[in-house]
Structure 1
Amino acid sequence: MHMLNPHCGIDRDSRGVVRLTICNAGSLNILGTTVINHVREGIEALAADRDIRVLLIAGQSEKSMIGGADIKEMAGLDQRSAETFISGLRALCDAPRLFPAPVIARIPGWSLGGGLEFAAACDFRVAAHDAKFAMPEVRVGIPSVIQAALLPRLIGWSRARWLIMTAATIDAPTALNWGLVDVVAAQGALDAEVEKLVDALLECAPDALRSQKAMLRQWEELPLKESMDLSVGVFGQAYLTGEPQKLMGDFINRKR
């Protein structure tokens, strides 16, 4: 593993799949300001590399990908420093959303608060059979904010309200049923399920996937007609990459 910085370890294979491991943040991978900044810097540095096909985010232990934000640090904040802290966490959670290639969250163990917000900002969430999820902020005197705003889009308003207003902990099967995660792995099969998803993404055209991700993000903000109008130009631009000509040609020739 190559260390980009003290909190980001990088493994890269010949397929263009990069695994970013969040390191040296305790067994639960807790997000204090230094960890937040280093992980954001690591993801942003990788974003410029067009040879990356898939980015996988993992934790150093099997207890968590990201357990949550650092309560010890947050307990000492005031209004101004609280806004600075949460703005840094927002920028970290934006990093996978803005990353050009698909991003997979590998989720064992606990995913709490800021850790769940980060997972929600990834494109795909693959959870272990015994993963647990919660938004416990209201129990320690703060609201759930920043990328918690993604939760109603993922799981609907009623379930998002339940999660963030009762601070309930839900298990992996419930998270799957709610649409909070995409896959729950059988016991011992988390990496195998991640690899199935990686293989599926590698079967797709890389430029088309990058274009699709960017367009999905724009669809979140635009009215329906504008979303359709935007997509016409994006469809045309796909032909500038050469991918449609090659891959459609390959398909036609296979059929003969």
Structure 2
Amino acid sequence: MNLSLPHADVRIDAAGIATLTMQDAGVLNILSTPVINGLRHALSQLSHNKAVRVLVLRGAGDRAFVAGADIAEMAALDASSAQRFIANLRDLCNAVRHFPVPVIARIPGWCLGGGLEFALACDLRICADEAQFGMPEVKVGIPSVIHAALMPRLIGAAHSAWMLLTGELIDARRAQDWGLVNAAVPQAQLDETVYKLAQSFAALGPEALRQQKKLLRRWETMSVDDAIEDSVGEFGAAFNTGEPQKFMNEFLASKRRGKG
């Protein structure tokens, strides 16, 4: 299935791997209000499609994932319009964080500011070893906000303070060492790595994956004890889907064949 929407090209293959490619956002995939609105619309449509097993987010071209929010647009804002702009970007990132299936960010190059926040909202981030990451907002007179708040729990307080207070860039190797990305691979291997990861998700039980993603988001707002108790009911509910019976019996059958 292919779908062309304003600022978004959507493709869903037979395995349920959806790829959302940003369109008409410049060579660096800049997040302006029209682009943000287009991506939000595309994500809303995809979120209701039960055929989708995993979503890959990418920019057009390989110069950038997203090199930030639109500075030309932001330079003309006042306090009121600035809040509207950032609330719209917040809602875009939340649409990714709460997307019902795993979301993979494909990061070939620049990933800066609002673009890094967009990537942080994804479940997994795979980058090329040429990629560069930064939160340079302080250098243009604004703080890093919204999903920059995810950074301390992801990479720790010290690394977050360095990135957010200095506005300096880090390379792919450091991003991987700090836990900002899950893998950094040669540019020539980026698509293959992302696709293999997406295939591994597509091969799993779709209801189990949706349950696990939902639990990950819920656990972020719970104490450990509450999260443990909350998960008991979810474990039982999994057996209403038929997936545990299917996958466990397939596993047992393969073990029996191996012994034979």
TM-score range, shorter chain: over 0.9
Deviation (angstroms), 1:3: 4.2
Larger mean Cα displacement after TM superposition, 58-67 or 133-142: 58-67
Deviation at 1:209, TM superposition (A): 0.8
Native 8 Å contact 1:107 1:131 kept in 2: yes
Shift of 1:36: 0.5
Instruction: Please name the residue that 1:14 is paired with.
Output: 14
SS in 2 for 1:43: helix
CA distance in 1, matches of 2:50, 2:68: 30
Residue 191 of structure 1 aligns with an amino acid whose one-letter code is D
* 2: CA distance, partners of 1:107 / 1:229: 37
User: What is the TM-score normalised by the length of structure 1?
Assistant: 0.98
C-alpha RMSD of matched pairs (Å): 1.0
CA distance in 1: counterparts of 2:198 and 2:11, whole angstroms: 15
**Secondary structure in 2 matching 1:68:** coil
Instruction: Trace 1:34-183 onto structure 2 (pairs within 5 A).
Output: 34-183=34-183
Unaligned ranges ≥5, structure 1: none
Distance 2:33 2:95 in 1: 15
Q: Secondary structure at the match of 2:215?
A: helix
CA distance in 1, matches of 2:176, 2:44: 29
Specify every segment of 5 or more residues in structure 2 that has no aligned partner in the other structure, as ranges.
none
Helix, strand or coil for the counterpart of 2:96?
A: helix
Report the residue type matching 2:145 in the other structure.
Answer: V
Counterparts of 2:72 and 2:239 in 1: how far apart (Å)? 52
1:245 — aligned with what? 245
How far, CA to CA, are the matches of 1:3 and 1:241 in structure 2? 30
CA-to-aligned-CA distance 1:193-226 (integer Å, 9 cap, x gap)? 1022112222322111110011011111100111
The one-letter code matched in structure 1 to 2:56 is L
Question: What is the CA-CA distance between 1:2 and the residue it aligns to?
Answer: 3.7
Structure 2 Cα separation of the partners of residues 35 and 139 of structure 1: 24
Structure-2 residue corresponding to 1:207: 207
C-alpha distance in structure 2 between counterparts of 1:143 and 1:3, whole Å: 36
- The answer to whether the Cα contact below 8 Å between 1:28 and 1:67 also exists between their aligned partners in 2 is yes
Return structure 1 stretches of 4+ with deviation > 4 angstroms: none
Cα deviation per residue 1:152-174 (whole Å; 9 max; x = unaligned)? 11100110110010001000000
Q: Report SS of the residue matched to 1:69.
A: coil
With structure 2 as the length reference, what TM-score do the two structures score?
A: 0.96
Contact 1:117 1:148 in 2 (8 A): yes
Q: Is the 8 A contact 1:74 1:82 kept in 2?
A: yes
Distance in 2 of aligned mates of 1:32 and 1:102 = 25
The CA deviation at 1:250 is: 1.2
Secondary structure of the residue aligned to 2:235 is: helix
Matches within 5 A, 1:229-240: 229-240=229-240
Aligned length: 256
